[in-house]
């Protein structure tokens, strides 16, 4: 994670991240802070509508070419006299260009009827829905109207109405994504799923649960706890199940339980023409037909709006141990995480925090942790099994010159250790209150992980950025 002075961002995205760091002409500009940004641009006429009544595969292919059409820009329903600017010469933001068409009053009245008045045209609310927090991605437009459906039928009617009027839609979940997923570059209708948060059915014997997309994973686990079950994915606090499906999220427990695609049994989805489809049955295995569930997971709202999710559940672990150790270099720490995986030890979490992150934690929490690269492990299972795995990992740590290996088993001590990781971003804000975060992640094969981290660190050291690295041993990735 890299930090710049607040309201200054570098104009780069993930594919160009390393090229950006290697540049010798880094030039950052600051501008006055504002919570209500607006860009004046020319009015135009039309927008490619949602593809209707086409097979999903064709829809994907055609949507890729949509932006080649010669469409003109126009503004959303925003007040031009606010005097705010976005992008352009002197700006350091990554601006997502878009094309806009005025939303017909007829459609707004139709949406108000469908949602029983649960819509919003408020400027501030629309701006908030079109401006992700802690993301350097910004769009020239934001939603013209926000709707709050309370049922799958309402979502279907909303999508059907937008398709009829050729107005784009953007589904909206917990808004915890940092990669621009909730942007509305073409304006249009934002479908906020926050009111659809019911647990529809729980099948304890089958170890699955059917939920609506607006429920958060933390709320769901509170509901499941009395039954001795839990949903194992744990991304950022506030993330909702629908958004987690749409972005194919993971989390720290994915090293043991897999990512979102491994934990969803089936989906119910409203397609672009308003039709409702179920992607599979509740059976754990089926060889019949296309795997539409995996197609929808990770589609980021481009193929349909998720309205129901059937999730695979796990038993709450009988016992767990959390361990922490230190290293002289970040490469040594990465090598230990790789060696642990190669040894066959079934860890449930492995997290790496570099020395900058530990310094931020010390400042934010008044701690006195060694400011060196640090690994956090979690082992789950029976008491005997977890202690055996802990001792095996301790041996691997010693072989790689690791020090200060400690482990805890009490709930309070474990919560305190994991709090270090969960509050990493906020600790950095406490260390540098006048700075703003720019976050991206890098995925490489496991065999290249240590090398990639080392080279990235060298490039970051040579830049003017205040930065830190944290790594989740999930999909062979690390976050900058």
**Upper half-sphere CA count for residue 135 (Cβ side, 13 Å):** 21
CA distance 419 to 403: 21
Task: Identify each DSSP E strand in 51-121 by its residue range.
Answer: 94-96, 119-120
User: Matching CATH topology for 7-192 and 199-315?
Assistant: no
Tell me how far apart the alpha carbons of residues 193 and 214 are, in angstroms, rounded to a whole number.
5
Sign of the CA dihedral running 213, 217, 223, 226: positive
**Distances 388 to 232, 319, 346, 364, 385 between C-alpha atoms, Å:** 23, 12, 11, 34, 5
CATH fold, domain 319-479, is Alpha-Beta Plaits (3.30.70)
DSSP state for residue 374 in the 8-state scheme? E
Rounded distance between C-alpha atoms, residue 162 and residue 20, angstroms: 39
For residue 224, with 0-12 CB atoms within 10 Å meaning exposed, 13-18 middle and 19 or more buried, which class applies? Answer: buried
H/E run at residue 189: strand 189-192
Q: Which of 372, 382, 477, 362 is nearest to 424 (CA)?
A: 362
d(CA 319, CA 337): 22
- Measured in whole angstroms, how far is the alpha carbon of residue 365 from the centre of its chain? 26
Query: How is the chain split into domains, by residue range?
Result: 7-192, 199-315, 319-479
Strand partners, 324: 376, 406
Structure tokens at 393: 């990992």
Cβ neighbours for 437, distance < 8 A, ≥ 6 positions apart: 1, 2, 3, 134, 425, 428, 429
Residue 338: helix, strand or coil by DSSP?
helix
Those residues with Cβ within 8 angstroms of residue 282's Cβ, 6 or more apart along the chain or in another chain? 203, 206, 208, 265, 266, 310
Enter the DSSP assignment of 118.
Answer: -
Closest to 149 (Cα-Cα) out of 49, 299, 276, 22: 276
CATH of range 7-192; options 3.30.70.360, 3.40.640.10, 3.30.43.10, 3.40.190.10: 3.30.43.10
Quote the CA–CA distance of 451 and 436 in Å, as a whole number.
28
Spatial separation of the C-alpha atoms in residues 457 and 474, rounded to whole Å: 20
What lies within 8 Å, CB to CB, of 106 at 6+ separation is 165
Q: What are phi and psi of 129, to 5 degrees?
A: -70, -20
- Joined together, the tokens standing for residue 472 give 């989740």
Q: What are the distances in angstroms from CA 7 to CA 80, 423, 478?
A: 21, 22, 25
Q: Tens-digit pLDDT profile for the chain (480 aa)?
A: 554 443 333 333 344 434 434 443 333 333 333 333 333 333 333 333 333 333 333 333 323 333 323 333 444 444 443 433 444 444 445 677 777 888 999 999 999 999 999 999 999 999 988 888 777 777 778 899 999 999 999 999 999 999 999 999 999 998 888 777 888 888 999 999 999 999 999 999 999 999 999 999 999 999 999 999 999 998 878 899 999 999 998 888 888 898 999 999 999 999 999 999 999 998 877 777 889 999 999 999 899 999 999 999 999 988 999 999 999 988 888 889 888 888 888 888 888 888 888 888 888 888 888 999 999 999 998 999 999 999 999 999 999 999 999 999 998 888 888 877 777 777 887 787 777 777 777 778 877 877 888 888 888 888 887 777 766 554 444 444
The CATH class of 199-315 is: alpha beta
Tokens 């070419």 sit on residue: 65
The sign of the dihedral angle between the CA atoms of 199, 421, 384, 255 is positive
- The SS3 assignment for 273 reads coil
* Residue among 190, 193, 191 at smallest CA distance from 141: 190
Q: Show Cβ contacts of residue 236 under 8 Å, excluding neighbours closer than 6 positions.
A: 176
Given this model, what pLDDT does residue 138 score?
77
Task: Match 């304006």 to its residue by tokens.
Answer: 187
Q: What is the pLDDT of residue 1?
A: 52
């Amino acid at each position: 994670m890299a930090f710049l002075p607040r309201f200054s961002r570098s104009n780069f995205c993930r594919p160009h991240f390393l090229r950006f760091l290697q540049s010798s002409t880094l030039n950052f500009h600051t501008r006055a802070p504002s919570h209500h940004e607006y860009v004046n641009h020319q009015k135009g006429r039309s927008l490619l509508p949602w593809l209707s009544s086409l097979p999903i595969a064709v829809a994907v292919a055609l949507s890729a070419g949509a932006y080649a059409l010669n469409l003109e820009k126009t503004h959303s329903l925003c007040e031009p006299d606010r005097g705010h600017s976005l992008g352009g010469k002197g700006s350091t933001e990554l601006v997502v260009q878009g094309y806009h068409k005025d939303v017909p009053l007829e459609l707004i009245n139709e949406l108000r009827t469908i949602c029983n008045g649960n819509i919003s045209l408020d400027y501030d609310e629309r701006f908030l829905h079109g401006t992700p927090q802690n993301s350097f991605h910004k769009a020239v437009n934001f939603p013209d109207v926000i709707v709050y459906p309370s049922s799958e039928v309402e979502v279907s009617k909303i999508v059907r109405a937008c398709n009829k009027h050729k107005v784009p839609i953007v589904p909206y979940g917990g808004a915890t994504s940092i990669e621009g997923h909730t942007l509305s570059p073409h304006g249009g209708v934002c479908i906020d799923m926050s009111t659809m948060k019911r647990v529809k059915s729980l099948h304890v014997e089958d170890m699955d649960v059917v939920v609506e997309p607006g429920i958060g994973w933390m709320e769901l686990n509170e509901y499941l706890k009395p039954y001795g079950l839990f949903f194992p994915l744990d991304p950022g606090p506030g993330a909702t199940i629908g958004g987690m499906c749409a972005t194919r999220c993971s989390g720290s427990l994915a090293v043991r339980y897999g990512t979102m695609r491994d934990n969803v049994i089936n989906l119910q989805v409203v397609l672009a023409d308003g039709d409702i489809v179920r992607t599979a049955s509740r059976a754990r295995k089926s060889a019949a037909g296309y795997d539409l569930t995996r197609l929808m997971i990770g589609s980021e709202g481009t193929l349909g709006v998720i309205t129901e999710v059937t999730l695979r559940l796990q038993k709450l672990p009988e016992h767990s141990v959390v361990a922490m150790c230190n290293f002289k270099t970040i490469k040594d720490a990465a090598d230990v995480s790789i060696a642990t995986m190669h040894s066959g030890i079934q860890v449930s979490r492995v997290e790496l925090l570099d020395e900058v992150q530990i310094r931020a934690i010390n400042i934010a929490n008044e701690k006195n942790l060694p400011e060196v690269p640090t690994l956090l492990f979690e082992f789950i299972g029976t008491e005997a099994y977890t202690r055996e795995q802990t001792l095996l990992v301790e041996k691997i740590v010693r072989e790689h010159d690791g020090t200060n290996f400690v482990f805890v088993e009490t709930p309070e001590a474990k919560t305190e250790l994991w709090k270090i990781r969960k509050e990493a971003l906020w600790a950095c804000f406490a260390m540098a209150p006048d700075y703003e975060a720019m976050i991206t992640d890098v995925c490489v094969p496991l065999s290249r992980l240590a090398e990639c981290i080392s080279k990235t660190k060298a490039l970051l050291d040579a830049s003017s950025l205040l930065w830190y690295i944290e790594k989740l041993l999930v999909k062979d990735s690390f976050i900058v």
